[in-house]
């Protein structure tokens, strides 16, 4: 299954970022790394990077390039054996294609702590075609959420539960193309109180028709993320 299996925060201040997320999300395992100076030289800002599992990184990257994506450097292998290539998808969002080491197979239930993955893109139909044909993602009917826009839900495989969505930002110049990862919290209000103490930029919170509550944030270094609270069980 070609799903997201890992997210990494690439940031300008690792220690400050860890302190912030520990306060907001609690003590959970997060992958936080220094944003490489070469990426900074290209104009990259702190961001959360999602890794999609593929069988062959170089082949998948070449296929993605044929569809209009751009490689942001060569394939690399970390000390744990993770192979990956960072790409700018055809719509401009940064994403990684990765092959985890055999001893660290992804959790089939998704990335612990990540409840939803949302792609902001300037051409949602093109994005659906690219991600659907490359990774086998299955799309549901579009859902109009009023002032929040139209969302195209997807599952990572046939018959799977919705794991994320895509939305068109062509008429929203203030929003750049990016993947926005929604971090689970038990209490959105408590998490937002902690985020405000660090002067994080916050939009929301919003209550969705499903009863889920969401707030979109920029952390103190400028990386965008979302907080996601599921409705209480009856």
Two structure tokens written together for 60: 């998948």
pLDDT at residue 23 tops 60: yes
pLDDT at 223 over 80: yes
For residue 206, give both structure tokens. 């919003």
pLDDT score of 175: 85
39-226-51 Cα angle (round to 5): 45
Q: Which residues are paired to 152 by β-bridges?
A: 142, 166
State how far the Cα of 78 lies from the Cα of 84, in Å rounded to an integer: 9
114-121 vs 178-184, strand pairing mode: antiparallel
The predicted-structure confidence for 57-92, as pLDDT tens digits, reads as follows 999 999 999 999 999 989 999 988 899 999 999 999
Token pair of 146, please? 């009023």
Q: Give the total residue count for the chain.
A: 234
* Mean pLDDT, residues 31-49 taken together: 87
**What domains does the chain contain, in order, with CATH numbers?**
4-229 (3.10.180.10)
The rounded percent of the chain whose pLDDT value lies above 70 is 96
Q: Pick from 50, 47, 49, 71: which is nearest to 60 by CA?
A: 71
DSSP-based three-state secondary structure for 158: coil
Give exposure, 126-135, as e/b (b: 16+ Cβ within 10 Å): ebbebbeebb
12, pLDDT greater than 60: yes
CA distance 136 to 3: 9
Q: Phi, psi at residue 189, to the nearest 5°?
A: -60, -45
pLDDT in tens, 86-116: 999 999 999 999 999 876 665 555 788 999 9
| pLDDT for the residue numbered 198 | 96
Give the pLDDT of residue 104.
Answer: 64
Residue 148 predicted with pLDDT over 60 = yes
Laid out side by side, the sheet with 114-121 consists of: 138-144, 150-155, 164-168, 114-121, 178-184, 224-229, 213-218, 201-207
Ramachandran angles phi, psi of 71, nearest 5°: -75, 140
Q: What is the pLDDT of residue 109?
A: 58
Contacts of 193 (CB under 8 A, 6+ apart): none
- The percent of residues in the chain predicted with pLDDT above 90, rounded, is 70
Q: Where are the alpha helices (DSSP H) in 85-180?
A: 124-135
Contact 7/181 with Cβ under 8 angstroms?
yes
Q: Is 177 helix (H, G, I), strand (E, B) or coil?
A: coil
Hey, is 214 helix, strand or coil?
strand
Average pLDDT over residues 133-150: 85
Range 138-161 average pLDDT: 85
CA–CA gap between residue 222 and residue 46 (Å, rounded): 6
pLDDT at 132 over 90: yes
The predicted pLDDT at position 171 comes to 81
């Amino acid at each position: 299954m070609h799903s997201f299996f890992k997210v990494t925060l690439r940031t300008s201040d690792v220690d400050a970022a860890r302190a912030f997320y520990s306060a907001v999300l609690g003590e959970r395992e997060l992958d936080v790394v220094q944003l490489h100076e070469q990426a900074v030289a290209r104009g990259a800002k702190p961001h959360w990077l999602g890794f999609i599992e593929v069988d062959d990184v170089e082949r998948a990257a070449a296929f993605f390039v044929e569809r209009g994506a751009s490689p942001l450097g060569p394939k690399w292998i970390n000390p744990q054996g993770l192979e990956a290539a960072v790409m700018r998808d055809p719509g401009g969002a940064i994403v990684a294609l990765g092959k985890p080491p055999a001893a660290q197979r992804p959790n089939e239930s998704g990335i612990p702590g990540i409840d939803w993955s949302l792609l902001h893109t300037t051409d949602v139909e093109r994005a659906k075609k690219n991600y659907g044909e490359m990774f086998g993602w299955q799309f549901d009917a579009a859902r109009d959420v009023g002032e929040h826009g139209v969302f195209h839900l997807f599952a990572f495989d046939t018959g799977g539960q919705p794991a994320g969505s895509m939305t068109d930002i062509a008429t929203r110049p203030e929003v750049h193309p990016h993947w926005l990862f929604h971090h689970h919290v038990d209490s959105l209000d408590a998490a937002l109180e902690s985020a405000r103490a660090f002067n994080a930029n916050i939009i929301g919170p919003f209550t969705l028709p499903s009863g889920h509550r969401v707030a979109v944030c920029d952390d103190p270094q400028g990386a965008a993320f979302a907080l996601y609270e599921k409705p209480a069980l009856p």
